Amino acid sequence: MTPGSRGGTVTARAPRAGERRRGWVHVLPLVVFLAALFLVPLAGLLRLSFSPVGAFNAALPGWTLAQYGRVLTEPYFYGSLLQTAATALLVAVLCVLLAYPAAYALARQRPGTLRTLLFVIVISPLLTSVVVRTYGWVVLLSGNGIVNKALVATGLRDQPAQLLTSYPAVVVAVTHVLLPFAIIPLTTALGGMDRNLHRASQTLGAGPVRTFLRVTVPLSLPGVVTGALIVFALAMGIYITPLLVGGVTQPLTGIRVYEQVSTVFDYPVAAALSFALLALTVVSTTLMAGAFRIWERRLHG
């Protein structure tokens, strides 16, 4: 994102004879750490999702598909999966739309105090706790919060609306939390663009709007795709933000998993539900990435 800040040294990385395993020792601690704390827990969770449950929802030995059966047949579970996918899609679209003007302004800003300030604003949500950001929305949207005051003052509502614990509030707060993940790749894509292309387009008689739509937007598509996919994947699994803003009744999978674990204590069904969520996330991001690739190829001939 800071072009020209480093020399363009081309590293020669041809493996020399006898050094085929160079670097392996360095990676070993990471492999051990991730195996012990990421792969083994995930494998344990996968095994748990095939366990039958006994009295008081205790997991029993043995194998069954009953938990996945429940997830796929009970509307409480599969409805939440559909709702989560729809929400994640909506959030991804909103993030891309909102990220565009911000990334455009950021990419065109010359290095200086204003750029640093704008940059701090963009990544400030990333560097503050998710509870802090979400709590800001709780304050904004509460009964006597600033949004309700504005609604009443402008005569749009006679009395304060119940904004907290509503679905639109969840969408707004999740969009806010994930927006930086869309702005950053888009700024990189827009910043790396050759300004001569704009000049060429304008010299040939295209106005700024046409240049933007026919030159800038197509060239920034890789950044758009990266941002949209990251936001979508993160929105699928987010649960703290919707829980705080929307409450436990929101029909989202993350919240339903949390409910099963924290109040129902049914771990096997929670495990099955979260693996269904993971599968849905992987399948839909792969499909979307593929669709974007085909579309892009057609666009560039």
Partner 1 sequence: MGERGYDRSVRLAGGVLAAIVFLFLIAPLVVLVVSSFNPSGSMAFPPSGVSVRWYAEVLGSPDWQVSFRLSGLLVVLVVPTTVVIGTLAAYGLTQGSFPGRRLLTGLALSPLMVPEIIIALGLLYYFHGVGLINSLPGLWLAHSLVALPFVVRAVMVSAAQLDPVLERAATSLGAGRVRVFFTVTLPLLRPGILAGAILAGVTSLGEVAVTALVAGANTTTVPLRIFSAVQYQLDPSMAAVSTLLMAASVVVMVVADRFARISEAL
Least distance (Å) between residue 157 CB and partner 1: 17
Query: What amino acid occupies position 183?
Result: I
Least distance (Å) between residue 300 CB and partner 1: 25
Nearest CB to partner 1, comparing residues 155 and 165 = 165
Least distance (Å) between residue 60 CB and partner 1: 15
Q: Ramachandran region of residue 265, left (φ > 0), alpha (ψ -120 to 50) or beta? A: left
Least distance (Å) between residue 196 CB and partner 1: 18
Least distance (Å) between residue 156 CB and partner 1: 18
Nearest CB to partner 1, comparing residues 1 and 72 = 1
Of 181, 180, 179, 168, nearest to 245 (Cα)? 168
Q: Answer for the pair 114, 223: CB distance below 8 angstroms, yes or no.
A: no
Least distance (Å) between residue 95 CB and partner 1: 10
Nearest CB to partner 1, comparing residues 189 and 233 = 233
Nearest CB to partner 1, comparing residues 23 and 155 = 23
Least distance (Å) between residue 184 CB and partner 1: 5
In terms of C-beta density within 10 A (0-12 exposed, 13-18 middle, 19 or more buried), how is residue 77 classed?
buried
Of 240, 201, 233, 230, nearest to 217 (Cα)? 201
Nearest CB to partner 1, comparing residues 72 and 279 = 279
Residue 231 parent element (H or E): helix 217-237
What whole-number distance in Å separates Cα of residue 186 and Cα of residue 244?
A: 29
Of 86, 99, 129, 92, nearest to 190 (Cα)? 99
> Half-sphere exposure of residue 250, counting CA atoms within 13 Å on the CB side?
28
Nearest CB to partner 1, comparing residues 10 and 294 = 10
Sign of the torsion angle spanned by Cα atoms 216, 219, 220, 224:
positive
Give per-residue burial for 252-278: e unless 16+ CB within 10 Å, then b: bbbbbbbbbeeeeebbbbbbbbbbbbe
Q: Answer for the pair 59, 267: CB distance below 8 angstroms, yes or no.
A: yes
Nearest CB to partner 1, comparing residues 91 and 270 = 270
Nearest CB to partner 1, comparing residues 101 and 300 = 101
What whole-number distance in Å separates Cα of residue 129 and Cα of residue 123?
A: 12
